[in-house]
Amino acid sequence: MRGLPALIWDGSVLDPEEGIRFRGMTIPEVQKALPKAPGGSEPLPEGLFWLLVTGEVPTQEQVHALSRDWAARASIPSFVEDIIDRCPPTLHPMSQFSLAVTALNHDSAFAKAYAQGISKKDYWQPTFEDAMDLIAKLPNIAGRIFRNVYGGGKLPAIEADKDYSYNLAKLLGYADKPEFVELLRLYITIHSDHEGGNVSAHTGKLVGSALSDPFLAFGASLNGLAGPLHGLANQEVLVWLRKMQSKLGQNPTDDAVREYVWSTLKAGQVVPGYGHAVLRKTDPRYMAQREFALKHLPEDPLFKLVSQVYNVVPKVLLEAGKAKNPWPNVDAHSGVLLTHYGLDQMNFYTVLFGVSRAFGVAAQLIWDRALGAPIERPKSYSTAAINQMFKDKQ
């Protein structure tokens, strides 16, 4: 079904040549237009959610009000805390994340309203409330999982006068690193939405079309995001880079990097972080992260290797004829940035991706219910039926 036009997704559209547009705005335009935190230079994700839902760029006051609203909704039920606390630390953080989000269905405004016979034309209102609660509660869930699995003591409280990314950083134990907080603002913004055909976005839309509430729908999204071909890609990039660094040492030559890339291809493996199902140019999300790195960590050894790989890999892939798009995607950079600030627990990276992706999925669920989108039910065929259809056409 790759590339098959089949979905309505209002928040963003992905162009093969120029990348993602959020409500018609490119990433550089979003970075310039959306409100920033005091003293910050990266867009606040609250502003991006406002843009995805309304199609309008919010004011600083509107974004601040949204930050405060989410902070007020941020607490999670005690039984959800118990579910997370009872998970063994060996259970993958994404499995714990999905469990906790699904359990929030217990207090779903939409499920309650549906059971009481709400009119179809009003479906969007409790869906909106659930979407707001979902996004608001994710930092507490993510923070609790992180501390249970990796240590860090008691979970601190959300600060009502701070923005979403600051509070997430605080719950992870990184609020004392302003640059990391800025990185989260950028990270959440650029990972929030990538039109509707990717696995996590489409799964949320599909499950939501059955009138499952946003908690159930996004829980399903997370299970899709946890797959190696989707949300695990950035940690695969980091593993590959570290293996290269271990073999070649610090400051390898371009020729040494080129030979390592060829050895990867000759072993029947792909170069992680390069190529994309839709894009045919360098992913603008990669460039946004690269610009952040050039500004804040230009001498980081792993970033220097990423830059070197950026100069080498596309030429090798073109020579090998292995990719329609030999350019880097968003995953080629994000793990290096997180590692620089000390967040090197790679199994947790997909949780951060999940927090981000909730913005796009939730925004579309609101619009699907407002527009009365029907349940998805594509036609399927067996392989025998397909063979029968084409047996006389060879």
What secondary structure letter does DSSP report for 228?
A: T
CA 318 to chain centre: 28
**SS3 label, residue 202:** helix
Element (H, E) at 376: none
Q: Which residues contact 2 (CB under 8 A, 6 or more apart)?
A: 277
Tell me which residue of 320, 232, 227, 230 sits closest to 269, measured CA to CA: 320
Name the token pair of 219. Answer: 């829980």
Other Cβ atoms less than 10 A from the Cβ of 315: the count is 12
Q: Give the separation between CA 336 and CA 268, rounded to whole angstroms.
A: 25
Catalytic residues, which ones? 230, 276, 331
Q: Give the separation between CA 156 and CA 129, rounded to whole angstroms.
A: 25
What secondary structure letter does DSSP report for 177?
A: -
Q: Is the torsion defined by CA of 249, 250, 255, 259 positive or negative?
A: positive
